[in-house]
Structure 1
């Protein structure tokens, strides 16, 4: 039978048997698996169909052409599924937020958990989420929070504050008010600038003073001695203008580190409150915080909406808070009272329901007694009539 076959129909390897198989890669004809393996070794053929190989339109609109495209698309789909399964099983890759490109120095959930702060995330695209610029410091590694300051007149102010800075110092820095620690050097510079003008004033008063005292001078004194006051007189502070000279001298004298600061440079006292988010109350629930504590200490064990919101009230108005705010202690007491009231209402309703059931049972029992008595009376009348 092999002798009657054409040479083109024979196996391209042994040339003795009619070919049965066609190589997907190069269309070589083989008759058996050993011949196919030998073909792969000789021709260095992979045996895989090339999906990018050009196919004529006449060959594409055939079952073989459709199978070719279907197998190619199915192989891509299987590869994607295999890669996703491997990522899930081996824990490779990253989440969608990380793939989108995190901000440099973004604070992670682990660092927030270590700080003891629960951050409630706002939906993406909202103003609150866009305003949040909280990040991690590249030098010290601490958290730099975006803080919203709300004053008594409801003015809003956003600033970035490190978690290790005291609350009052951070607020003074946000509103641009001088702080005592950083204002010492500035006070010295101002006093040095004012010193020449005060010395000129002293010279002018020293020149004008002899002309005024020349009228009251005694014969024992010479005009020269009166016109030039000695250093001892200035040091003793003698004369009618001694108080003014001493005051000007104290202003000219440079201030040392141990001296007390001027009253104008001391910032007024403020009371700070942290806003508690997502409460059942219609008013804003505020948590009092110490102005000398750091932001890290104030936020530990608390929850914030994207970033903390701090209310600032002057010490004069701390006793009378606005009507739209309530302290956390009063809010918790109110919640406890409402919970107890609800429990009492539920218990009373349950008791009334049980009592209603008992009354219905009692009425049912009484009706049975009335029916039995009526039955006895009817029987007596019947028996009496018979008698």
Structure 2
């Protein structure tokens, strides 16, 4: 009896140390252990991985349990995660995963190949939509080779639901500090800059104080202007009554004169009335004022022009009130736009001369860019040639010309 009791006690203890009752069970071989050192010894002695074997045999009674269902579910989700992870790694490395035709027996494609092909076709579809909208916006995008850092950093895309382009914008400061942020195309450059480089609390308080002082001065100026206008209105009625009392007899003559002048103006210049409904030409100046190149937070914005023939960066001045769509229209970017943030104005950059760190686009075009042959500007020969109606006859004697004409007209002609 004693031996049977000892045997039963040994089976109830840890299979490694035989000192304490077991707490853990190996998922692969069901070996029971009491602690972490015992599990390590078990893996070392038995060469066991400790990972459950999904192909291990199970009885029918064991299959119809919640634990077996959880095992199968975890096994399937683990396969899907590994496929998605492989697809992301291939995309980050610039490896194009191509899904061929029918693979396997009977022309059936494997599930892994289908998922890999769908993962490869998704970015291509998004990229085609983005390039189409960029082309419609008038922007030329130069694509960097796949796998390069510039290509990896590019997160620009087209959002069909919001109907907007989101650009990845690289901001470069005077000291060379770089920040990459995503900006919507309809947002002004100044607001995008404020989001990329937010103000500190002290700077915000200073701006609030400046705004308050400006509003106070504006209200004071308005009140002063209103007081002056009221005083002028009070003075005007007295002066007008004096003029009316002094010259009562001149009013009919003045009225008749004005009516006659108005009728003559209507009869002589009827076209002037048709020109009045057209809007005034001041709208262009107002647009220029809204998009004037002014400093924002004591800095100026410049768009970088890529792939130039100079070592100096070629910059295009931008107005803070311009949106990204207006700023990029008609220009070229390398994957995504790069905007320089400098404290110098365009005039200051031009004044630096040959020692300047940066070169403006107009100077670059004037000094480096070739002139197109099909341009609409007139050539030197066309400019130098005078008009046929303006022939200079200063050196011709008029008397000689008259004599020649008289001889041709009045001399008798001899008939042969």
TM range (shorter): 0.3 to 0.5
Q: TM-score, normalised by structure 2?
A: 0.36
